[in-house]
Amino acid sequence: MFGETSPVNGLLSHQSQEDIPAAITDVGCERELNEDRYAVIDSPAGRAWVVCDGMGGAMGGELAAQLAIDAIRRGLETINYDTSLEALKGAVEEANRIIVLRRQNPAFSSMGTTVVATLIKGDEVTIANAGDSRAYLIRDRAIQQLSVDHTYVQDLVDRGALNAEEALSHPQAHVLTRCLGAEPRLSLELQSYWIWNVTSNEPQDKLLLCSDGLYSLVSDEEIADIISSFSPQESCVQLVELAKARGGYDNITLAILPLGGQLREENPGGQARAAAPKKTRDIRTAKKKQPPRFRFSTKTRMILYGLLMVLGMVVVTLVVLLKLAKH
Ligand code: CA
């Protein structure tokens, strides 16, 4: 069992390899440059882990990813925020602003970067993402994607025009609909969770942040199996080797963070939040999408109004004609 101490080497084994987060980045087998970046940032706002996957030709991708990491670090270290959500949002929005400004240089006019980041303060975990770098939760060999891909094909999947398997092999699988640097106003995906203590019989969660160079070549099930079987450090090495054995055509970056408990959407100190539901929900069932509310589009509403008006006019005409016929 990890985490146990023994009288012989108690100090050394107090924190086992299982408890220590790890991250890795690899250029892969085909690219000359590594445009992925990762960072761990200790700040007054908490400890942040960030993975960025830059794009934009020549040196643009590397520059965008590095600018993002530097700006997020500066934002978290220097600005006072009231909440973790505001801190991560503010820092990532500042990174977006800086990349948008630097794109005015024609040499870097097409650069941008994805971002997936988590900020952990006490038992609160905030996750932000823009683009197709992902955050996954791994619990006892089960895996769940927490982040939302901002890609053209994900839009098609959401609209039911494509299924998830077709999306993976779609020629435009990696066309992004959001990233840092694309627009002055960034629409950032943000989620808050809390780490709950569990008994020694219950599995503890691990969080994975990664670029598409990993999940394009290694399935979710394989990722879950490896991360559940090995320490974060060993898992990082094995997952990179697996992606490279399958071609490694893209840069590969990942960070694995043991959470020391289970991630849930409810705050353990929930009594402070009057609206918080009493019943705790498992993270795997809590994220089910709500069915969309049935609403007509503006165009459909216009057509319906038109039809109603025509129907009204027909009724009025019929009434008038009937009256005339009686006379
Ligand atoms: Ca990539």
CA distances from 76 to 72, 158, 162 (A): 6, 33, 39
Task: Look at residues 46, 44, 64 and name the one whose alpha carbon lies nearest to residue 54.
Answer: 64
Cα(first)–Cα(last) distance of the chain, in Å? 99
* Cα 210 to ligand 1 centroid, rounded to whole Å: 10
> Residue 256 forms beta bridges with which residues?
22, 208
| Distance of CA 178 from the midpoint of ligand 1 (Å) | 14
Burial 251-283 (b: 16+ CB within 10 A, else e): bbbbbbbbbebbbbbbbeeeeeeeeeeeeeeeb
Tokens 């009288």, residue located: 7
* CA 55 – ligand 1 centroid, Å: 8
Average pLDDT rounded to a whole number, residues 221-248: 98
The model's pLDDT over 27-63, given as tens digits with 9 standing for 90+, comes to 999 999 999 999 999 999 999 999 999 998 778 999 9
54 alpha carbon to ligand 1 midpoint, in Å? 7
**Ligand 1: distance of its center to the CA of 228 in Å?**
24
Tally of residues, the chain = 327
Rg of the chain in Å (alpha carbons): 25
DSSP assignment letter at 141:
T
Q: Ligand 1 centre and the CA of 135: distance in Å?
A: 14
- The CA-based diameter of the chain, rounded to the nearest angstrom, is 113
Place of tokens 């990664």: 210
Convert the pLDDT of each residue in 301-313 to its tens digit.
667 767 888 888 8
The answer on pLDDT for 189 being more than 70 is yes
Tokens of 74: 């500066």
Q: Side chain identity at 184, as an amino acid letter? A: P
Q: pLDDT tens digits for 98-139?
A: 999 999 999 999 999 999 999 999 999 999 999 999 999 999
CA 252 to ligand 1 centroid distance, Å: 7
pLDDT at 71: 98
Ligand 1 center to residue 174 CA distance, Å? Answer: 8
Residue 127's DSSP bridge partners are 118, 191
Alpha carbon of 296 to ligand 1 centroid (Å): 38
Distance from the alpha carbon of residue 240 to the mean position of ligand 1, in angstroms: 13
Residue type, 161: A
Q: Summarize the confidence of residues 237-253 as an average pLDDT.
A: 97
Phi, psi (rounded to 5 degrees) for 202: -90, 145
CA of residue 105 to ligand 1 center, whole Å: 23
Q: pLDDT digit string (tens) for 71-104? A: 999 999 998 889 999 999 999 999 999 999 999 9
The pLDDT-based confidence of 276 (bands split at 50, 70, 90) is very low
CA 302, distance to chain mean position in Å, is 37
Residue 278 has pLDDT above 80, yes or no: no
CA dist 180 and 178 (Å) reads 7
Q: Which residue carries 């609160």 as its tokens?
A: 124
Question: Ligand 1 mean position to 137 CA, how many Å?
Answer: 20
